[in-house]
Structure 1
Amino acid sequence: MPLQNQQNTPLEKQKVIFDHDGGVDDLLSLMLLLTMDHIDLLAVTVTPADCYLSDATLSTLKILSMFNRSDVPVGQGQLHGENAFPADWRAQPKICNVLPDMLAQSYDKKQISDLSAEELINKCLTEQQNVSVLMTGPCTNLVAAFEKQPELKSKIKDVIWMGGAVDVPGNVAMYNHDKSAEWNAYWDPVASQKLFASGLKIKLIGLDATNCLPVNIDFLGQLAEQKNYPISSLACQFWATTINTIPSYEFTYFMWDVLATSVLALQNGEIEFESVKLNVATSEPNAGQTYRDPEQGFDIDVAFNVDKDAVLNYILKQFRC
């Protein structure tokens, strides 16, 4: 039987295009998004950033099938950023795809669109209006879309982007970088700067907000207690693949993308935003840094304060399906 969502459906659903880059937290975000009955998911597009495209596409198709969403087209991104993610990170969807529940899951290759990711985005925007774009990877696909058809920007209600680090250190540790940038912004710093300059309403969920939500054993234990729910069980398995970073000497896994996805549902002060004039550096040694720039920056709504318990309780509730 197909999995059923939990919430009461409002009179009008919020239209969403979801652009992700295939990491474990991106796939968990897709699962979370599909539990939200108030969301009308128009399309999913994949950026080949923190993933290998074929693996991330397969994961996406299987998760959509779990939720009986054969109606959602999947667009594959063909554009590549300037700074590649580490190969070991990009292999994570391959690991997810060999988990038992994923191996047993059927899927429909016909959901893969003949259109590229940016073309599929523009097709959706041509047919719809008042659309939210949720991005949990680099912004390359969206920027390519509005550069091809800038008139379609008026169809976008807002852009919710997991990216950037404003008042906290970044998570890029490369020999030619000063560690000021977050990876999604660093992968394609030129596109990141173009997004900020686009005039779109941007809600930035960066490391300033996500640093309060590490994936830890206590949370996984709570999730395991509800393992009789198929999605809770699968989510716990997905997060378990990150266990080598819990904790790590250099790196900790956080709920980066899951927090960004929660913004679509938690709108009663659980996640607080502040309007800040920001800019993006596009060259070494701080490429991708999202920094305060009162003189030449762009107005961006940045998430700073997060009610951690409210977010975690929401995730646990939604995954009881």
Structure 2
Amino acid sequence: MVNKIIIDTDPGIDDSMAIQIALASKEFEILGLTTVFGNVDVHLATINALRLLQLANRTEIPVAKGASTPLKGKFMGGVPFVHGDDGQGNTWQPPCDLSPINTPADEFLIEQIIKFPKQVTIAALGPLTNLATALSKKPEIQNLVKEVVFMGGNAFCAGNATPAAEANILSDPDAADIVLGANWPITMIGLDVTHKTMISQETLNEISECDAPLNNYVMRAYQYYLDFFMRVNKIDGTYVHDSSVFAYLIDKNLYKTVKYPVKVETQEGISKGKTWPSIGESDHEEGEALLPWKNRPKVNICIDVNEKRVIKLLKSRLIIQ
């Protein structure tokens, strides 16, 4: 079965590999890419997304430029120490000759979900601002989307942007709280599983042998990412963050999940951006109208993963191009 998907993204080195995997997977019909600030500013994210599609010779896929700032506050800048100043490992490739469509990202999401009711899966790889603004404009899309699967959050483990929070959620916690409170089927692929999934330098060396324009480009950028993980995490490889979204969509049996309502901490303080699942009994007490999780839907939270099978799957998609 082929899934119609929209990839919401902030490329980003790991976004680039994730998009590469999606493009190589027959399970997906990619309706478009929507861009958002995050790893880099939205202008650069859009340039990077367009370049990836051109290198893959998939220029028929539209790119819609999205949010440049979080719902509240300012964009605080990208993370050049992780992804490089260009978001692509300081490879500094020239811009391609493609342009984004005129439709803004949130309106593109609405348009496609309404056009294909109960058929569109949103694969979100960055901050959730575009999804939140789409919901604010057309709340009924939560009843029309097939599924939302996003990379972000940390239910039962520490964060990576702060001890409490994961980077995508911390970039716009208010948007994340709106998205996780909406009544649509939603799966959270957070650090609980992405930090259990590592792609090694040895595997990346094998993937690098595939001589295709997009693969050559992504593997060049990936060297910067590898250097970051060796320097900071002392591992000879990288965690598999964004690509895990597509591994899950291809084979959900690779992941163990639990379902809880999730509330995002939006207030300033040491817990800002933390995704809090309701795992206690207090949310079931009667008469407590102000309980944070009251009337919030359950989120499908990935908590464990078959790492070997995920890496085998991703490797197969990256090598067959």
Per the normalisation by structure 1, the TM-score is 0.85
For the pair 1:223 / 2:213, whether they are aligned, the reply is no
Aligned 8 A contact 1:23 1:93 in 2: no
The Cα shift of 1:90 comes to: 8.0
1:248 aligns with 231
CA distance in 2, matches of 1:211, 1:134: 19
Amino acid aligned to 1:312: I
Residue 263 (structure 1) aligns with: 248
Alignment of 1:50 onto 2:39: yes
What is the DSSP-based 3-state SS (H/G/I as helix, E as strand, rest coil) of the residue aligned with 1:45? Answer: strand
Q: Is residue 236 of structure 1 aligned with residue 235 of structure 2?
A: no
The CA RMSD measured in Å over matched residues stands at 2.4
Q: Taking structure 1 as reference, are residues 35 and 213 closer, same or farther at Cα in structure 2, changes over 3 Å only? A: same
Change (3 A) 1:210 1:144: same
Other-structure match for 2:314: 315
**Identity value in percent:** 20
User: More displaced, 246-255 or 71-80?
Assistant: 246-255
1:114-193 superposed matches below 5 A: 114-129=102-117, 130-173=119-162, 179-193=163-177
The DSSP-based 3-state class of the residue aligned with 1:72 is: coil
Aligned partners of 2:5 and 2:30 also within 8 Å: yes
Instruction: Please point out which of 5, 16, 20 is paired with 1:31.
Output: 20
Hey, what's the Cα distance between the residues in 2 that align with 1:135 and 1:265? 15
Measure, in 2, the Cα distance between the counterparts of 1:202 and 1:313.
25
The Cα shift of 1:26 comes to: 0.9
**Contact 1:49–1:84 (Cα < 8 Å) also in 2:** no
Give the SS at the match of 1:279: strand
Q: Report the Cα distance in structure 1 between the residues aligned to 2:169 and 2:308, rounded to whole angstroms.
A: 28
Shift of 1:279: 1.5
Pick from 92, 97, 109 the counterpart of residue 84 of structure 2. 92
Query: Structure 1 pair 106/51, CA: closer, same or farther in 2 (3 Å)?
Result: closer
Aligned to 2:263: 279
Number of aligned residues: 299
Alignment pair present for 1:196 and 2:188: no
Matches of 2:213 and 2:101, distance apart in 1: 28
Separation of aligned partners in 1, 2:77 and 2:244: 21
> Any idea what the Cα deviations from partners look like across 1:86-145, whole Å, max 9, x if unmatched?
452586372638749x55x95422xx1112111111121222222100000011101100
TM-score for both structures, normalised by structure 2 = 0.85
The answer to which of 299-308 and 273-282 deviates more is 273-282
Match of 2:290 in 1: none
Cα distance change, pair 256–21 in 1 and its aligned pair in 2 (3 A) = same
Residues 243, 91 of structure 1: CA spacing in aligned structure 2 closer, same or farther, 3 A cutoff? closer
TM-superposed deviation, 1:38: 2.2
Cα 1:193–1:266 change in 2 (3 A) is same
Q: Which moved more, 1:61-70 or 1:24-33?
A: 61-70
Contact 2:11 2:88 in 1 (8 A): no
Contact between 1:59 and 1:93, CA under 8 Å: does it hold in 2?
no
Q: Structure 2 unaligned runs (5+)?
A: 284-292
2:67 to 74, 78, 81: 78
- Take 2:11 and 2:215, find their aligned partners in 1: how far apart are those partners? 19
Q: Which range is displaced more, 247-256 or 114-123?
A: 247-256
> Aligned partners of 1:90 and 1:77: how far apart in 2?
22
Look up the equivalent residue of 2:98 and give its one-letter code.
D
Q: Is the 8 A contact 1:189 1:281 kept in 2?
A: yes
Counterpart AA for 1:292: P
- In the alignment, the residues of structure 1 paired with residue 66 and residue 85 of structure 2 have an alpha-carbon distance, to the nearest angstrom, of 16
- Give yes or no for contact 2:83–2:224 (8 Å, CA) kept in 1: no
Gaps of 5+ in 1: 1-9, 174-178
**In the alignment, what sits opposite 1:293?**
278
